[in-house]
Structure 1
Amino acid sequence: MAEKTIMLVCSAGMSTSLLVTKMQKAAEEKGLDFDIFATAASDANGPIEERHPDILMLGPQVKYLEQDFQERVDVPVVSINMQDYGMMNGEKVLEQAIETIG
Protein backbone atom coordinates (compact mmCIF):
# COMPACT_ATOMS: atom_id res chain seq x y z
CA MET A 1 0.00 0.00 0.00
CA ALA A 2 1.22 3.48 -0.87
CA GLU A 3 2.68 5.77 1.80
CA LYS A 4 0.48 8.68 0.73
CA THR A 5 -2.33 9.18 -1.75
CA ILE A 6 -2.52 12.43 -3.72
CA MET A 7 -5.69 13.22 -5.64
CA LEU A 8 -5.62 15.89 -8.33
CA VAL A 9 -8.93 17.42 -9.34
CA CYS A 10 -9.58 19.31 -12.57
CA SER A 11 -12.57 20.11 -14.71
CA ALA A 12 -12.46 16.98 -16.87
CA GLY A 13 -9.69 14.85 -15.39
CA MET A 14 -7.75 15.02 -18.64
CA SER A 15 -5.44 18.00 -18.28
CA THR A 16 -3.95 16.66 -15.07
CA SER A 17 -3.03 13.24 -16.47
CA LEU A 18 0.33 14.51 -17.79
CA LEU A 19 0.98 16.23 -14.46
CA VAL A 20 0.21 12.98 -12.62
CA THR A 21 2.78 11.16 -14.78
CA LYS A 22 5.41 13.79 -14.03
CA MET A 23 4.60 13.73 -10.31
CA GLN A 24 4.86 9.93 -10.23
CA LYS A 25 8.28 10.13 -11.93
CA ALA A 26 9.45 12.73 -9.38
CA ALA A 27 8.17 10.56 -6.51
CA GLU A 28 10.01 7.50 -7.88
CA GLU A 29 13.22 9.51 -8.19
CA LYS A 30 12.86 10.47 -4.51
CA GLY A 31 12.17 6.85 -3.54
CA LEU A 32 8.60 7.63 -2.47
CA ASP A 33 5.76 5.15 -2.82
CA PHE A 34 2.88 7.54 -3.54
CA ASP A 35 -0.45 6.81 -5.20
CA ILE A 36 -1.08 9.85 -7.41
CA PHE A 37 -4.16 10.09 -9.58
CA ALA A 38 -6.47 12.60 -11.23
CA THR A 39 -10.21 12.86 -11.52
CA ALA A 40 -12.84 15.28 -12.76
CA ALA A 41 -14.42 17.51 -10.13
CA SER A 42 -17.84 16.13 -11.03
CA ASP A 43 -16.62 12.56 -10.32
CA ALA A 44 -14.58 13.31 -7.18
CA ASN A 45 -16.89 11.82 -4.55
CA GLY A 46 -16.31 8.19 -5.56
CA PRO A 47 -12.50 8.32 -5.49
CA ILE A 48 -12.56 10.26 -2.21
CA GLU A 49 -14.59 7.49 -0.56
CA GLU A 50 -12.78 4.59 -2.25
CA ARG A 51 -9.15 5.72 -2.13
CA HIS A 52 -9.10 8.00 0.94
CA PRO A 53 -6.58 10.55 -0.37
CA ASP A 54 -4.25 12.31 2.07
CA ILE A 55 -4.59 15.55 0.10
CA LEU A 56 -6.77 17.02 -2.66
CA MET A 57 -4.97 19.28 -5.09
CA LEU A 58 -7.15 21.42 -7.32
CA GLY A 59 -6.18 22.53 -10.79
CA PRO A 60 -6.42 26.28 -11.43
CA GLN A 61 -9.61 25.83 -13.47
CA VAL A 62 -11.47 24.43 -10.43
CA LYS A 63 -9.88 26.61 -7.73
CA TYR A 64 -13.33 28.07 -7.10
CA LEU A 65 -14.36 24.70 -5.59
CA GLU A 66 -11.72 24.84 -2.85
CA GLN A 67 -14.06 25.91 -0.04
CA ASP A 68 -16.70 23.37 -1.11
CA PHE A 69 -14.17 20.51 -0.91
CA GLN A 70 -12.76 21.82 2.39
CA GLU A 71 -16.25 21.58 3.91
CA ARG A 72 -16.72 18.00 2.65
CA VAL A 73 -13.40 16.33 3.43
CA ASP A 74 -11.13 16.26 6.45
CA VAL A 75 -7.83 16.29 4.55
CA PRO A 76 -5.94 19.30 3.22
CA VAL A 77 -7.37 20.88 0.07
CA VAL A 78 -4.99 23.14 -1.85
CA SER A 79 -4.91 24.83 -5.21
CA ILE A 80 -1.99 23.94 -7.45
CA ASN A 81 0.24 26.89 -8.21
CA MET A 82 -0.90 28.17 -11.63
CA GLN A 83 2.63 28.54 -13.00
CA ASP A 84 3.64 25.03 -11.87
CA TYR A 85 0.44 23.66 -13.37
CA GLY A 86 0.93 25.49 -16.66
CA MET A 87 4.53 24.29 -16.92
CA MET A 88 3.46 20.76 -15.87
CA ASN A 89 6.16 20.89 -13.20
CA GLY A 90 5.48 17.59 -11.47
CA GLU A 91 8.40 17.95 -9.08
CA LYS A 92 7.19 21.33 -7.77
CA VAL A 93 3.59 20.15 -7.39
CA LEU A 94 4.79 17.02 -5.58
CA GLU A 95 6.87 19.24 -3.24
CA GLN A 96 3.76 21.35 -2.57
CA ALA A 97 1.85 18.20 -1.61
CA ILE A 98 4.65 16.88 0.62
CA GLU A 99 5.01 20.23 2.41
CA THR A 100 1.26 20.35 3.02
CA ILE A 101 0.78 16.80 4.32
CA GLY A 102 4.16 16.46 5.99
Structure 2
Amino acid sequence: MEKRILIICEAGISASLLVSKMLETLRDEGLDYEVDYAPMKRIQEKLSYTNYDVLLLTPQVARYKEEVQKIIEQEKCVSKIIFMKSEDFQYMNVEKIINEL
Protein backbone atom coordinates (compact mmCIF):
# COMPACT_ATOMS: atom_id res chain seq x y z
CA MET A 1 0.00 0.00 0.00
CA GLU A 2 1.38 3.37 -0.97
CA LYS A 3 1.89 5.99 1.71
CA ARG A 4 2.16 9.67 0.98
CA ILE A 5 4.67 11.59 3.06
CA LEU A 6 5.18 15.34 3.17
CA ILE A 7 8.40 16.60 4.72
CA ILE A 8 7.86 20.09 6.08
CA CYS A 9 10.98 22.19 6.35
CA GLU A 10 11.97 25.79 6.84
CA ALA A 11 13.52 26.58 3.46
CA GLY A 12 13.78 23.31 1.54
CA ILE A 13 17.50 23.00 0.88
CA SER A 14 18.40 20.13 3.20
CA ALA A 15 14.92 18.60 2.87
CA SER A 16 15.47 18.02 -0.84
CA LEU A 17 18.57 15.98 0.00
CA LEU A 18 16.59 14.06 2.62
CA VAL A 19 13.87 13.27 0.06
CA SER A 20 16.46 11.88 -2.35
CA LYS A 21 18.00 9.67 0.33
CA MET A 22 14.59 8.52 1.55
CA LEU A 23 13.41 7.60 -1.95
CA GLU A 24 16.60 5.64 -2.55
CA THR A 25 16.22 3.73 0.73
CA LEU A 26 12.49 3.12 0.19
CA ARG A 27 13.19 1.77 -3.30
CA ASP A 28 15.95 -0.50 -1.94
CA GLU A 29 13.54 -1.83 0.71
CA GLY A 30 10.76 -2.34 -1.83
CA LEU A 31 8.39 0.12 -0.11
CA ASP A 32 5.88 2.02 -2.20
CA TYR A 33 5.89 5.50 -0.67
CA GLU A 34 5.44 8.87 -2.32
CA VAL A 35 7.67 11.50 -0.71
CA ASP A 36 7.39 15.24 -1.24
CA TYR A 37 8.57 18.29 0.67
CA ALA A 38 7.46 21.84 1.24
CA PRO A 39 8.82 24.87 3.03
CA MET A 40 6.63 26.39 5.73
CA LYS A 41 5.22 29.00 3.36
CA ARG A 42 3.79 26.31 1.04
CA ILE A 43 2.22 23.87 3.53
CA GLN A 44 -1.33 25.08 3.09
CA GLU A 45 -1.02 24.91 -0.70
CA LYS A 46 0.30 21.32 -0.56
CA LEU A 47 -2.38 20.17 1.91
CA SER A 48 -5.15 21.72 -0.15
CA TYR A 49 -4.21 19.56 -3.18
CA THR A 50 -3.07 16.27 -1.65
CA ASN A 51 -3.97 14.08 1.32
CA TYR A 52 -0.82 12.88 3.03
CA ASP A 53 -0.63 9.93 5.39
CA VAL A 54 2.31 11.42 7.28
CA LEU A 55 3.58 14.94 7.85
CA LEU A 56 7.25 14.72 8.77
CA LEU A 57 8.49 17.95 10.34
CA THR A 58 12.16 18.82 10.40
CA PRO A 59 13.70 20.02 13.69
CA GLN A 60 13.82 23.64 12.47
CA VAL A 61 10.03 23.62 12.03
CA ALA A 62 9.30 22.63 15.63
CA ARG A 63 9.08 26.30 16.60
CA TYR A 64 6.18 26.67 14.15
CA LYS A 65 4.16 23.88 15.77
CA GLU A 66 1.12 26.07 16.53
CA GLU A 67 1.09 27.59 13.03
CA VAL A 68 1.35 24.13 11.45
CA GLN A 69 -1.46 22.86 13.68
CA LYS A 70 -3.75 25.71 12.58
CA ILE A 71 -3.09 24.97 8.92
CA ILE A 72 -3.75 21.28 9.48
CA GLU A 73 -7.07 22.07 11.16
CA GLN A 74 -8.08 24.52 8.41
CA GLU A 75 -7.40 21.92 5.73
CA LYS A 76 -9.13 19.18 7.77
CA CYS A 77 -5.98 17.12 7.49
CA VAL A 78 -5.91 13.81 9.36
CA SER A 79 -2.26 13.01 8.71
CA LYS A 80 -0.02 11.48 11.33
CA ILE A 81 2.41 14.19 12.49
CA ILE A 82 5.98 13.24 13.32
CA PHE A 83 8.71 15.58 14.49
CA MET A 84 12.09 14.33 13.33
CA LYS A 85 14.79 13.99 15.92
CA SER A 86 17.61 16.49 15.41
CA GLU A 87 20.31 13.85 15.22
CA ASP A 88 18.37 11.78 12.66
CA PHE A 89 17.90 14.83 10.45
CA GLN A 90 21.45 16.08 10.94
CA TYR A 91 22.99 12.73 9.97
CA MET A 92 20.30 11.89 7.38
CA ASN A 93 19.54 8.65 9.21
CA VAL A 94 16.73 7.74 6.82
CA GLU A 95 16.42 4.14 8.01
CA LYS A 96 15.56 5.33 11.50
CA ILE A 97 13.19 8.02 10.17
CA ILE A 98 11.40 5.47 7.97
CA ASN A 99 11.00 3.10 10.92
CA GLU A 100 9.04 5.80 12.75
CA LEU A 101 6.48 6.08 9.98
TM tier, smaller: 0.7 to 0.9
> What residue in structure 1 maps to residue 34 of structure 2?
35
Q: Where do 1:1-102 residues align within 5 Å?
A: 3-71=2-70, 72=72, 73-97=77-101
Matched position secondary structure for 1:15: helix
TM-score, normalisation: structure 2 = 0.85
Whether the 8 Å contact between 1:7 and 1:57 is mirrored in structure 2 is yes
Matched position secondary structure for 1:53: coil
Output the CA distance in 2 between the equivalents of 1:69 and 1:56: 10
CA RMSD of aligned residues (A): 1.5
CA–CA separation in structure 2 for the residues paired with 1:12 and 1:42: 9
Question: Aligned partners of 1:67, 1:96: CA distance in 2, in Å?
Answer: 22
Higher mean alpha-carbon deviation, 44-53 vs 80-89, is at 44-53
Contact 1:66 1:78 in 2 (8 A): no
Q: Deviations over 1:39-95 (max 9, x none)?
A: 101111111121211111111001122344345232111111110100011221111
Letter in 2 for 1:34: Y
Question: Unaligned 5+ residue runs, structure 1?
Answer: 98-102
Compute the TM-score of the two structures, normalised by the length of structure 1. Answer: 0.84
* CA distance, structure 2, for counterparts of residue 4 and residue 59 of structure 1: 19
Contact 1:70 1:77 in 2 (8 A): no
* Alpha-carbon separation, structure 1, partners of 2:68 and 2:53: 13
